[in-house]
Structure 1
Amino acid sequence: MPAATAESAAVAGELHPPRAGVASLDNAIGHQNMQQLIQLRWFAVVGQVATILVVHYGFEIRLPLDHMLQVLACLALFNMVSLLRSRSHRRVTNGELFLALLVDVATLTAQLYLSGGATNPFVFLFLLQVTLGAVLLKAWSTWTMVVITSICFAGLALFSRPLALPLDHDRGLWSPYIQGMLVCFALNAALLVIFITRISRNLRARDARLADLRQRASEEEHIVRMGLLASGAAHELGTPLATLAVILGDWRRLPHFSSDPELLTEVAEMELQIQRCKSIVSGILLSAGEARGESSEETTVSTFLDDLVEEWRTTRPVEDFEYDNRFGRDLPMVSDSALKQMICNVLDNALEASPHWLRLEAAHDADALTITVTDAGPGFLPAILKEFGKPYQSSKGRAGGGLGLFLVVNVARTVGGRVAAANRPEGGAIVKITLPLAAIVLEEEETEVDDDADDEEALAASQQDHRNGRQ
């Protein structure tokens, strides 16, 4: 029962990061939408100042400038507070967006009340607030916005005083009221196009990122299932491999084997391959946290690569293998079986495509380790390159093909790295693995601090001994 619980917790732990990513993504979209509202509010402040001045001094329609400018000052102050809060990186909820739109509706209602109420041609700006609510808010919030704006419109018709405008609608565009309606329509249309387009782009980006997170969660779940199957198979293979090793040891001592050098050579080769199988099984169990007596060893990047290449070269039938380790500065790291298996998978695929020539190059690129594997085979098909790293994308034509590169890409991604593949112009393929050093090397600062502390303790002890000697 405890094992099952631990296994379920491990699987759940694999699936939690995508859920956290979804929450972080929603939070980012909320911040972007709030930024859009803040920008729109600055447009509203500038536009209202310009409109009030033009109407008051240009059309000579007297407006209560003091009160209207006070309302604009309150709106600008609220916008600055919203801007400062948005920079605190706190979560933006539906309630906050709803409150922000309600403040916009309240200030618009106050300005219309002071400038003609329902007879003001800019009364149709209420539709802008409702439209933004329909895009940004949840359903209940949007319908609440519809009710509130309708009540505000009705209240303006009941309690505000109309503007002293002549009823000259028959003059067409020469009528001040028609001109105001035209400006209101153009303003509504322009703002809707600009900001709805931006908000829709944010939502599309959110949906695309969400689809990517779901795909990643599905792939990680697939990896978990494969890991459980591999761990179970490793447990089952341990006993028959040990039995085969014992049998081969007995064969080596039999007279008709010991007297035939050719048979002894074949037995030795079989023992070598069984030992390799046992090492693979041990690596699987070690990755699953169930080591068979082995443990991770501290090494360096160059030593890790050199040992990996040496082991791979001696266990594969490679004819011409070039290895160039240009990493330069050697850094401490822990020998990781997952990284080792990842690089070996790339080499195995390259060897299968190009058994006559193969090259591996390691280099120190900025703050990353780059491993480049080059072969002289037929290269990748365009469809494989397009879906590189996806499971079961292979040109080998056998069941389970493509899982090697799928695991390579996902192992690299877990440490913040990436894998890229391309075809060479002269023929063959090239696969480049980039791993951030921060994720694979050991921290040197802690060691240095510990060494300094040890030195200080040793110095203090020496001084104390010296004082004791003098006494």
Structure 2
Amino acid sequence: MSLPVSVLPEQRLVQLRYAMVALGLLALAAAGFSGVELAWLPCLAALALLALVNFMLPRTGSRGALLSGLAADVLALSLLLFASGGAANPLSSLYLPPVLFAALLAPGLAPWLLGALALACYGVLFVWHLPWPVAGGDSAYAFSLHLVGMWWTLALSIALIVGFVSYLARTLARREAELMAARETQLSNEQMVALGVQAALAAHALSTPLSTLTLLCDELAADYGDDPALGEDLALMRGQLAHCRDALARLRHGAEPPRAPEPVLQVLAHQLEGWRTLRPDVVLDTRLSGDEQVCAALPPALWPAICNLLNNAAEAGGGHVELSAEVAGGALALDIVNREGCLSDAQLARAGLAPQVSAKPAGLGLGVMLTHVTLSRLGGTLTLNNDAAGGVRACVRVPLAPAGEC
């Protein structure tokens, strides 16, 4: 599993190296205007070498490219120190950041080898270097320049170490958050696979009892069809059994591709009418808005997810549910509100992430979680919150894939 990172640490080092080259050129220009005597050719060669190596390094973030760049930093710094006083130059403290970066980004033997290279170069500079730059032979000025250099070296080291280590800390924190989100998604997917297996077993086990109940219902209707009260109950029973058979059929064909593009609001209204026939005891107030000509290939799994929310709202809302829908901006937005009850902060935080304790006599507490996972798979979102006017509001947002003519 790969996690997206905006800028890799190795790429940040490349950017930092270019910044150091620019800073070095500015420092050389300032030294020239101040009358400091330097061996200009070695200094410019060191900066040119560093820029060339940085340009030639691959941008793949490989370990070899990282260590090659840090070794080039050490060698370029050694050449600069050779041309400006050797080990007595306060810039020698800048050997530390490359070794630190190697230890952070490539732990193991490589940082020790880079540290040994830095020590060897620093040791050579004790005996082999050009004289310390002095303006007009003024030793007091040279010592003052040394002190200023020590301050700037300390400031630059602090900026490099604090800036880069802070960047690494932010990168690690972001990766940890992405890993946690991926772990939550994986756990949710595993739960859904387990529920899918149980649903398939339940569908297989319920098929025969449903057929038997349907036959019994037909026989009772034939024998007692003249009784108006009983006939009405039998008609309701037949409708409920038909709904169960349709649910099993949808389960069998749930993996089918979406249908042809259809008018979104028209299909939604048709589905809501079907839900009303199953819940005649519930008052459903609907408000549909938006372009009625917008068409999309709606996945079949969307409707059971919306029905779960409607059923939950009907049970919690005392038989009255408000639904508003709008098609705009390439998305279908649904707000489902019941005006009774509220959710605790803990319930709001875990809504859709795990089964909840259901207050319904036959409830399993799975409806919201199933809806949340279904909408996530479709690229949509589900948010629950306590409405300011009372009750609970469920907000559903589902992106609509562009479609041609209906």
TM-score, structure 2 length as denominator?
Answer: 0.87
Q: Which structure shows the bigger proportion of residues in helix conformation?
A: 1
Specify the alignment match of 2:93 in structure 1: 124
Question: Match for 2:238 among 253, 267, 271?
Answer: 271
Contact 1:393 1:402 in 2 (8 A): yes
Specify the alignment match of 1:231 in structure 2: 200
Q: Does 1:73 align with 2:48?
A: yes
The letter for the 1-side match of 2:68 is: L
Per the TM alignment, residue 95 of structure 1 is displaced from its structure 2 partner at its CA by 3.1
The letter for the 2-side match of 1:262 is: A
Instruction: Tell me, in whole angstroms, the C-alpha distance in 1 between the residues paired with 2:193 and 2:62.
Output: 34
Alignment of 1:451-470 (within 5 A): none
Per the TM alignment, residue 77 of structure 1 is displaced from its structure 2 partner at its CA by 4.3
Specify the alignment match of 1:339 in structure 2: 302
Specify the alignment match of 2:381 in structure 1: 418
Residues 357 and 146 of structure 1: is their aligned pair in 2 closer, same or farther, counting only changes over 3 Å? same
The letter for the 2-side match of 1:75 is: L
Specify the alignment match of 1:360 in structure 2: 323
Contact 1:417 1:433 in 2 (8 A): yes
Residues 195 and 227 of structure 1: is their aligned pair in 2 closer, same or farther, counting only changes over 3 Å? same
Residues 341 and 123 of structure 1: is their aligned pair in 2 closer, same or farther, counting only changes over 3 Å? same
Instruction: Tell me, in whole angstroms, the C-alpha distance in 2 between the residues paired with 1:380 and 1:40.
Output: 50
Instruction: Tell me, in whole angstroms, the C-alpha distance in 1 between the residues paired with 2:130 and 2:283.
Output: 94
Alignment of 1:103-252 (within 5 A): 103-157=72-126, 159-161=128-130, 163=132, 175-252=144-221
Contact 1:304 1:335 in 2 (8 A): no
Q: Is 317-326 or 425-434 further displaced after alignment?
A: 317-326
* Deviation per residue, 1:181-210 (Å, 9 max, x gap): 232122111221222212211221111112
Residues 233 and 157 of structure 1: is their aligned pair in 2 closer, same or farther, counting only changes over 3 Å? farther
Instruction: Tell me, in whole angstroms, the C-alpha distance in 1 between the residues paired with 2:297 and 2:84.
Output: 74
State the SS of the aligned residue for 2:383: strand
Instruction: Tell me, in whole angstroms, the C-alpha distance in 2 between the residues paired with 1:109 and 1:399.
Output: 78
State the SS of the aligned residue for 1:444: coil
Alignment of 1:267-346 (within 5 A): 267-288=234-255, 296=259, 299-346=262-309
Per the TM alignment, residue 348 of structure 1 is displaced from its structure 2 partner at its CA by 1.1
Unaligned runs of 5+ in 2: none
Give the aligned CA root-mean-square deviation in angstroms: 3.1
State the SS of the aligned residue for 1:306: helix
* Deviation per residue, 1:191-235 (Å, 9 max, x gap): 212222122112211111121111111111211221122122112
State the SS of the aligned residue for 1:337: coil
Per the TM alignment, residue 391 of structure 1 is displaced from its structure 2 partner at its CA by 0.9
The letter for the 2-side match of 1:444 is: G
Contact 1:113 1:161 in 2 (8 A): yes
* Deviation per residue, 1:316-355 (Å, 9 max, x gap): 1444211122132423334532100111111111111113
Specify the alignment match of 2:338 in structure 1: 375
Specify the alignment match of 1:64 in structure 2: 39
Per the TM alignment, residue 285 of structure 1 is displaced from its structure 2 partner at its CA by 1.5
Specify the alignment match of 1:444 in structure 2: 404
Identity %: 28
State the SS of the aligned residue for 1:191: helix
* Deviation per residue, 1:249-308 (Å, 9 max, x gap): 223333xx345333333332222211111111111111156x9xxx95653312220111
State the SS of the aligned residue for 2:324: strand
Contact 2:296 2:400 in 1 (8 A): no
Contact 1:391 1:406 in 2 (8 A): yes
Contact 1:376 1:427 in 2 (8 A): yes
Contact 2:261 2:404 in 1 (8 A): no
Residues 399 and 323 of structure 1: is their aligned pair in 2 closer, same or farther, counting only changes over 3 Å? closer
Contact 2:263 2:292 in 1 (8 A): no
Question: Match for 1:36 among 9, 12, 37?
Answer: 12
Aligned length: 402
Instruction: Tell me, in whole angstroms, the C-alpha distance in 1 between the residues paired with 2:264 and 2:109.
Output: 58
* Deviation per residue, 1:118-167 (Å, 9 max, x gap): 3322111111111222222343443343333333333434544453679x
Residues 135 and 379 of structure 1: is their aligned pair in 2 closer, same or farther, counting only changes over 3 Å? same
Instruction: Tell me, in whole angstroms, the C-alpha distance in 1 between the residues paired with 2:76 and 2:361.
Output: 68
Unaligned runs of 5+ in 1: 1-18, 448-471
Residues 260 and 318 of structure 1: is their aligned pair in 2 closer, same or farther, counting only changes over 3 Å? closer
The letter for the 2-side match of 1:46 is: A
